Amino acid sequence: METNGVLGCVNISKETRDEIAEDFSCQEREPIHIKGKGIMISYLVTGPKHTLGGSPPLPETAISSASGDSPALGFPLVDALSLTRGDLVPGIVSLMVAAGALDALKIDTCLLERFARHVDAQHDDRVPYHNMCHVYNVVQMLCVFLGWPEVRAKLEPLEVAAVLIAGLCHDLGHVGLTNDFLKEIQAPAAKRFPTSTNERLHFQNLETLLSASETDILSELSESDRARLLDTVAECIGATDMARHGTLLQKWRRWAEMGVDWRDRSNRNFLASLLMKCADIGNEARGPQAAQFWVARLYAEFRNQIDIERALGMKESPSAKLVEADLYQSQLYWCEKVTIPLFKLLAALAPCTGIDSLLDNLDETRKFWKLQASRRKVF
C-alpha cells in the first residue's frame, strides 16, 4: 500500500474504490505496473466526501450557546456552535487581540487576520472534529484561562502570545486520521516523525507559514525572542498528544507538589502546556450539552477512519474498540480519569473562582454521563 507522499492519502485498487466511492473522494492515478499483476489502475483516497456517523454538519447559523456568561471569568465561556462559520476567524482574531497578542508580537490586526485565514485554509470542514470550530473552542478556552489574574500574572506577555498561537495552530493541517493510522500506512509524516506524528507535523506546518513574509506574525521579534516563543509553542502543541498524557500528568503533578518558582522559564512553559492540554480536551468543562455534541463529532471522525481501515483490509486501530464500547460508560471514565484530574491540577496551581466554575461544569457533565450509563441507552 502506497501513500503517494501525501499525508492521509492512500492508493487503492478499482475494486476498493467502488466499495468506498459513495463516501470518499478518490482521484484516478496513472496506470502503474505491479510485479506479478501487470498493469493496474489505482486511485488515491483524498478524503471523506461528507461527514459520516450521523454527526451534524458545521453550523452555518447560530445553533446554541453551551454555557452562559460567568461573572467569575474575564472572558465569557462561549462555544463555537453559537457562531456562524464565517464568524470563526474574526472571532479568533478578536479573542487574540483582546488577550494581548498584538502588543506582545508588535504587529497589526491585518497581519494576524491574514495569518488566521491561512490557518483556516488548512482545515477541512469535512473533518468532523478537528476543524476550525474545534480551533475556535481551544483558543476561546485559553482566553478564559488567561483572563484569570491568577494565571495571567504567572506568564510573560510573549508566553501569553505563544499559548494563543499554539491554540490556533495545534491541529494545523489535520486530516482526521490518528497517529496510529499514519504509522500503519507508513505515511511520509510518520516516517519523518515516528512519535507524535500529527503534533510534530502541525508544528512544521506552522513553521512553513511563518517562513512566508506575508504570514510571518513573528517578524517584529528579535531572533532570541522568536526562538523562545517557538520553543513554548512546540511544547504546548506536543502536550496535546494523548499518547503522552499519562507521562505528562505525572510530571505536572510532581512539579506542582515541589512548589513552583515562576521566575524559571521552564516552569512557565510547563504551565503553558498544561493550559493548552486543558483547552484541547476541555469541551466537557462547557457542560453536558456541549460535551454530547463534541463527542458525537469525535466518534464520527473515528468512524471515518474505521471505514477506511475496513475497506483497505487494515488492522483496526484502537478507535474501533472505543466506538464499539458503551459510549456513556467510556465518557464517564474519560471525565473522571482524564479531564477532571487535569482541571483539578490547574486549580491547585492557580486557585480562583474561575476554575471553580469550570469544575462545577465538569461535575455536571460527569453526573450526566453517569446517569446515561446507568440507563444503558444506545448512542
Grid cell digits, residue 288: 453536558
Q: Which contacts qualify for 350-354: CB closer than 8 Å, 24 or more apart?
A: 350/148, 350/150, 350/151, 350/154, 351/150, 352/72, 352/148, 352/149, 352/150, 352/151, 353/72, 354/70, 354/72, 354/73, 354/74, 354/144, 354/145, 354/147, 354/148, 354/150
Of residues 33, 118, 123, 130, which has the active-site annotation?
A: 130
What are 27's strand-pairing partners?
44
**CA 22, CA 37: separation in Å to the nearest integer?**
27
Q: Report the binding-site residues.
A: 130-134, 170-171, 280, 331
Contact 19, 194 (CB under 8 A): no
Q: Report the binding-site residues for Zn(2+).
A: 134, 170-171, 280
**CA 303, CA 323: separation in Å to the nearest integer?**
7
Q: Quick check: is 130 catalytic?
A: yes
Q: Which contacts qualify for 211-214: CB closer than 8 Å, 24 or more apart?
A: 214/114
**CA 51, CA 303: separation in Å to the nearest integer?**
10
CA distances (Å), 160 to each of 24, 99, 182, 240, in order? 40, 8, 32, 17
Taking the CA atoms of residue 116, residue 121, residue 125 and residue 126 in that order, the dihedral angle to the nearest 10 degrees is -150
Q: Report the binding-site residues for AMP.
A: 130-134, 171, 280, 331
DSSP E strands in 5-103: the ranges are 10-13, 24-28, 32-34, 38-40, 42-48
Q: Which residues are catalytic?
A: 130
